Structure 1
Amino acid sequence: MVRVVFVHPDLGIGGAERLVVDAALALKRKGHDVHFFTAHHDPSHCFTETSDGQLKVTCIGDWLPRSTFGMLAAFWAYIRMVYVALYLVLISGVSYEVVFVDQISACIPFLRLKHSKIIFYCHFPDQLLTQRKSLLKKIYRYFLDNLEEKTTGYADCILVNSHFTASVFKDTFKSIKAAPSVLYPSLDFNKFDEYAEITLKEANLHIPGECIFLSLNRYERKKNLGLALESLKVLLGMLEEDEKSDIHLVIAGGYDERVQENIDHFNELTSMAKGLGISEKITFLKSPSDKEKIALLRCARCLVYTPDKEHFGIVPIESMYVGTPVIAVNSGGPKETVVNGETGILCNQAPESFADAMHSFVKDIGEKKFMGKAGHNRVVNNFSFLKFSEHLDYIVQGLMDERKQR
């Protein structure tokens, strides 16, 4: 048994959180002891495994600000993670041998105050997620970006979520000579199998129309959700009047009242739907439960996945597992998960391209069955929780063997 501590900035609901929760569950099922330390954990807005006792969670430092008058969010995120690391090392009294850190590497030097092995999981370089607009912000980011690269290099093992992210990592962090290893996120099939026959009605969802398209992403501008609305508008223009009545688009995703962008972008999208004249064809859902999400994925004609250059994208994997094809932008992680013409359709980032792909599913219902079966098989063969668990366990055991040799 290896004692593993996870240090994560905010145990909310998102792809990064799903990854670390799955990693903790994987190691726990392999017989290791796992414990989360985080700066924020709201039992009403988190993955169930972190609130129902399956995983130990210690929340510390949530009194620290998240920003200063809406600014310096990255700076405070770094401070919060450093505070969590110092608490773990100096005050917690918790004994551990491996620390799994993700998203923010600034805390790694402080974790090195104790003799432990450190894994850093890079979802994507933080500096590339920031839009630089002013000279002042460029100066501010210059110091944070250099700190990110320097501290990332202190990890004993660096993991990334896709070969796409690995290539970006190499181009971004030029001073780090060690190549990161790819550990694909996975699915816990049991959770999805639990709702194998679920209907929208059983999930208390009332969505009109026989042909439902689903967009499932956090309410963030980088997720490009407006493309789904524009694509629906183009699609409706391609259909006969009697066909339009069956069409409906559900936009669902993570929504946090603490995050101003979530609030602003939700309002932007609802206004955009009104401007396009398609409000009656759209249902917006905030932070759907697992039951609701799986029901939507199973009942949708296809998933409309709009992010460009997405680092990996767990939602297409979830969709393919339940037998629902994926329409996605032909870039980033989806190029590694979706097989064009076999498990879905990869498109140019344009409403016309997406609408053409959506039109094919309106006209040919059998397309979903054919691609859905191929997608399910692809996920089972390539992204199983068992493979993920074995790979991560191998990494942890390898770090322990290195430690014993010293």
Structure 2
Amino acid sequence: MRVALVHDWFTVYAGAERVVEQMLRVLPQADVYALADFLEGGARGFLQGKPVRVSFIQGLPKARQHYRAYLPLMPLAIEQFDLRGYDLVISSSHAVAKGVITGPDQLHLCMCYSPIRYAWDLQHQYLRESGLEGGLKSWLARLLLHYLRLWDSRTANGVDGFIAISRYIARRILKVYRREAEVIYPPVDVEAFTLWQDKEDFYLAASRMVPYKRMDLIVEAFAQMPDKKLVVIGDGPEMPKVRAKAGPNVTLLGYQPFEVLRDHMRRAKAFVFAAEEDFGIAPVEAQACGTPVIAFGRGGATETIVAGETGVFFQEQSVESLITAIEEFEKLSFDPLRVRRNAERFSAERFRQEFAALVEREWDKFRAGLSSG
């Protein structure tokens, strides 16, 4: 089987790239395509030495630093890949990768991390956070997003089968594309986050400091609970806002290497998570350490945390709701081994098995359809 794997862009080794890594282990013969590839040498190991075939976006001025600014050209760029020589095309898409052009004798499966967030239900949040709520630039952005939605809807017709990373994303795919999707949860390196049963008297929050992560909410809640200790790991544009809200019971460590993050995840009495994520890897990593999670009860976290057994939820992104959840958490007891076992449901090995079985099943069904046709 001749296979092409098409990713949006390679700039960091993060959640979507971990999925690509495991898909390449299942389909090692695949050729890899992307709009642009700006990975540094030390971050390329997951590609297994494969070259990445890139689009014209790669050579545009200042693309390395500002590739997102070329969003208006990305639909055109993704359509220029000539994939006629492949039997199976896997698109790895949170933006435009699913828009590759395939023919009737090619099977196109899309690993969909989300329909384009900033073009659909998160448009108004994106415009607000980008300072584009009014003025000429705002209307130009709205016009671009309008046409991007039209293109995104049309190109969904070229996908033979959607794979969603959570039931939450499957519902978004159904809402936007009117297509059913099979859920395969992303791979989490649960082996790297080992069980530790002796918990200490502090809570942990760790994330990039960007608005939707709501790290400011977590810090503000603990500022109102001076008897409880919070350690915060992470950095980003929201750091000044977070620092301004931190009380003496909050320790801000900034960016820390993996070993320091894992050490704190293992020792913390609970991991606090306030974002509405498509899946959310960090809560699973915490559970792999035997550490329960206090999480906002929306999005993928509701599928990875068992309420009352591996964590608790708060139902509103508010200080009051989080404080109530922390008080509820402290009335309960959690078995670190039980918490760890829940995380093992999301291992990389499980992902490879489910992905391989789906590809084989869809390929056999597709070939049968070609034969009968």
Question: Same-fold call, TM > 0.5?
Answer: yes
Could you tell me which residue of structure 1 aligns to residue 267 of structure 2? 299
Following TM superposition, by how much is the alpha carbon of 1:326 offset from its aligned partner in structure 2, in angstroms?
0.7
Q: Equivalent residues in 2 for 1:204-223 (5 A)?
A: 211-223=201-213
Could you tell me which residue of structure 2 aligns to residue 258 of structure 1? none
Could you tell me which residue of structure 1 aligns to residue 37 of structure 2? 40
Could you tell me which residue of structure 1 aligns to residue 7 of structure 2? 7
- Residue type matched to 1:15 in 2? G
8 Å CA contact 2:4, 2:86 repeated in 1: yes
Q: Equivalent residues in 2 for 1:136-147 (5 A)?
A: 136-147=140-151
- Residue type matched to 2:87 in 1? E
Moved over 6 A (4+): 67-71
Following TM superposition, by how much is the alpha carbon of 1:223 offset from its aligned partner in structure 2, in angstroms?
1.9
- Residue type matched to 1:270 in 2? P
Following TM superposition, by how much is the alpha carbon of 1:305 offset from its aligned partner in structure 2, in angstroms?
0.8
8 Å CA contact 2:231, 2:250 repeated in 1: yes
- Select 1:155's aligned residue among 159, 167, 171: 159
- Select 1:314's aligned residue among 255, 276, 281: 281
Could you tell me which residue of structure 1 aligns to residue 251 of structure 2? 282
Could you tell me which residue of structure 2 aligns to residue 182 of structure 1? 183
**Alignment size in residue pairs:** 350
Q: Equivalent residues in 2 for 1:246-265 (5 A)?
A: 247-252=229-234
Instruction: Answer yes or no: is 1:100 the counterpart of 2:90.
Output: yes
Following TM superposition, by how much is the alpha carbon of 1:290 offset from its aligned partner in structure 2, in angstroms?
4.0
- Quick one: distance in 2 between partners of 1:385 and 1:70? 30
- Quick one: distance in 2 between partners of 1:44 and 1:212? 37
Check 1:285–1:16 CA distance in 2 against 1; reply closer, same or farther (3 A cut). Answer: farther
DSSP 3-state at the match of 2:186: coil
Could you tell me which residue of structure 2 aligns to residue 270 of structure 1? 240
- Residue type matched to 1:299 in 2? R
* Cα-to-partner distance string for 1:6-44 (whole Å, 9 max, x where unaligned): 43322413322333323333x15xxx4244333123226
- Quick one: distance in 2 between partners of 1:138 and 1:74? 13
8 Å CA contact 1:214, 1:249 repeated in 2: yes
- Quick one: distance in 1 between partners of 2:38 and 2:356? 26
- Quick one: distance in 1 between partners of 2:46 and 2:7? 16
Check 1:136–1:105 CA distance in 2 against 1; reply closer, same or farther (3 A cut). Answer: closer
8 Å CA contact 2:99, 2:156 repeated in 1: no
Following TM superposition, by how much is the alpha carbon of 1:325 offset from its aligned partner in structure 2, in angstroms?
0.7
* Cα-to-partner distance string for 1:155-211 (whole Å, 9 max, x where unaligned): 1111111112222222222xx4x4111111132444335xx67x9xxxxxxxxxx53
Could you tell me which residue of structure 1 aligns to residue 130 of structure 2? none
Instruction: Answer yes or no: is 1:374 the counterpart of 2:338.
Output: yes
8 Å CA contact 2:5, 2:92 repeated in 1: no
- Quick one: distance in 2 between partners of 1:146 and 1:226? 36
- Quick one: distance in 2 between partners of 1:115 and 1:268? 49
Following TM superposition, by how much is the alpha carbon of 1:150 offset from its aligned partner in structure 2, in angstroms?
1.1
8 Å CA contact 2:219, 2:246 repeated in 1: no
- Quick one: distance in 2 between partners of 1:110 and 1:343? 41
Could you tell me which residue of structure 2 aligns to residue 202 of structure 1? none
* Cα-to-partner distance string for 1:250-299 (whole Å, 9 max, x where unaligned): 2327xxxxxxxxxxxx24323432x225378332433x544344333212
Could you tell me which residue of structure 2 aligns to residue 399 of structure 1? 362
Check 1:168–1:353 CA distance in 2 against 1; reply closer, same or farther (3 A cut). Answer: same
Check 1:106–1:330 CA distance in 2 against 1; reply closer, same or farther (3 A cut). Answer: closer
- Quick one: distance in 1 between partners of 2:54 and 2:2? 23
8 Å CA contact 1:123, 1:311 repeated in 2: yes
Could you tell me which residue of structure 2 aligns to residue 56 of structure 1? 50
Q: Which consecutive residues of structure 2, in runs of 5 or more, have no partner in the other structure? A: 128-132
- Quick one: distance in 2 between partners of 1:374 and 1:394? 28
Following TM superposition, by how much is the alpha carbon of 1:387 offset from its aligned partner in structure 2, in angstroms?
2.8
DSSP 3-state at the match of 1:235: coil
Check 1:389–1:110 CA distance in 2 against 1; reply closer, same or farther (3 A cut). Answer: closer
Instruction: Answer yes or no: is 1:340 the counterpart of 2:341.
Output: no
- Residue type matched to 2:240 in 1? T
8 Å CA contact 1:11, 1:46 repeated in 2: no
Check 1:276–1:45 CA distance in 2 against 1; reply closer, same or farther (3 A cut). Answer: farther
TM-score under structure 1 normalisation? Answer: 0.74
DSSP 3-state at the match of 2:145: helix
8 Å CA contact 2:12, 2:43 repeated in 1: yes
Check 1:377–1:106 CA distance in 2 against 1; reply closer, same or farther (3 A cut). Answer: closer
TM-score under structure 2 normalisation? Answer: 0.80
- Quick one: distance in 1 between partners of 2:358 and 2:146? 33
- Select 2:71's aligned residue among 55, 58, 74: 74
- Quick one: distance in 1 between partners of 2:67 and 2:7? 25
Q: Which consecutive residues of structure 1, in runs of 5 or more, have no partner in the other structure? A: 200-209, 254-265
Q: Percent identity?
A: 21
Check 1:106–1:372 CA distance in 2 against 1; reply closer, same or farther (3 A cut). Answer: same
* Cα-to-partner distance string for 1:284-328 (whole Å, 9 max, x where unaligned): 433x544344333212221111113x2211221111122111111
